[in-house]
């Protein structure tokens, strides 16, 4: 799947990014290899392609950003992903994280509420021949129950609370990472479904774009009821 990391002019920049990610605590070799393999510049607008390998958020249009790579990698490291996993991604965005996940797990189901971003991401994934991904245009806060339960759920936007439908779609032994808090600042929460019930763990402070939808914020900035 995808193109070789040696086939483009950004090799040195990508390798420098991998080094930065290691300095920031990313130790999972499978995660690092996946980030090295997937070309981030393929997924960002041409106007910001020169910033593709900064360890920083990059604007992708429609008020959205492609998240900081080291934070995306931390998500994947904390979730302890396995090749056999089925993963739900809430917030396709540029499709870059989707592509990295596709190299790590068996199947990725991704939801994006902005149709134009979903179309662009799907076209890029198809061009790179990444075929173990399905993208849905819709409300990520209600999940994608058709293919549940999921071994892992990644939520790439911050909500006021953890949506109950996403908890319900976790498999036994499943893990979810989601930012929870105000629109300006959140805590990254690790949620696990165990035989004893649902467990919650606070990981770190973070700032993501707002999670909009039925079980998130509405467009005006208030909590949906």
| Residues paired with residue 191 on neighbouring β-strands, in sequence order | 176, 200
For residue 225, the model assigns a pLDDT of 47
d(CA 47, CA 59): 10
For residue 220, the model assigns a pLDDT of 63
pTM: 0.91
For residue 219, the model assigns a pLDDT of 77
Active site residue 67: yes
The CA angle 63-107-131, to the nearest 5 degrees, is 80
Among 39, 67, 70, 94, the active-site one is: 67
For residue 63, the model assigns a pLDDT of 87
For residue 11, the model assigns a pLDDT of 87
For residue 128, the model assigns a pLDDT of 96
d(CA 36, CA 14): 7
For residue 83, the model assigns a pLDDT of 97
The stretches in the chain having pLDDT less than 50 are 1-7, 225
For residue 224, the model assigns a pLDDT of 58
Closest CA relative to residue 162, chosen from 136, 188, 195, 194: 188
């Amino acid at each position: 799947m995808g193109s070789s990391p040696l086939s483009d002019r950004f090799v040195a920049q990508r390798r420098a990014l991998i080094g930065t990610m290691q300095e920031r605590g990313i130790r999972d070799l499978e995660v690092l290899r996946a980030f090295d393999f997937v070309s981030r510049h393929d997924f960002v607008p041409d106007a910001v392609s020169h910033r593709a390998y900064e360890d920083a958020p990059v604007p992708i249009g429609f008020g959205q950003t492609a998240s900081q790579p080291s934070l995306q990698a931390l998500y994947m490291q904390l979730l302890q992903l396995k090749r056999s996993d089925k993963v739900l991604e809430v917030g396709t965005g540029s499709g870059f994280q989707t592509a990295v996940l596709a190299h790590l797990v068996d199947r990725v189901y991704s939801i994006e509420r902005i149709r134009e971003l979903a179309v662009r991401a799907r076209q890029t994934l198809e061009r790179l021949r990444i075929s173990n991904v399905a993208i849905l245009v819709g409300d990520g806060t209600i999940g994608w129950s058709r293919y549940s339960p999921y071994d892992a759920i990644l939520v790439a936007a911050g909500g006021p609370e953890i949506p109950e439908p996403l908890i319900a779609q976790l498999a036994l032994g499943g893990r979810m990472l989601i930012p929870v808090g105000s629109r300006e600042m959140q805590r990254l929460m690790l949620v696990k479904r165990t035989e004893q019930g649902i467990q919650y763990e606070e990981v770190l402070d973070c700032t993501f774009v707002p999670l909009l939808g039925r079980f998130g914020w509405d467009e005006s900035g208030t909590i949906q009821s």
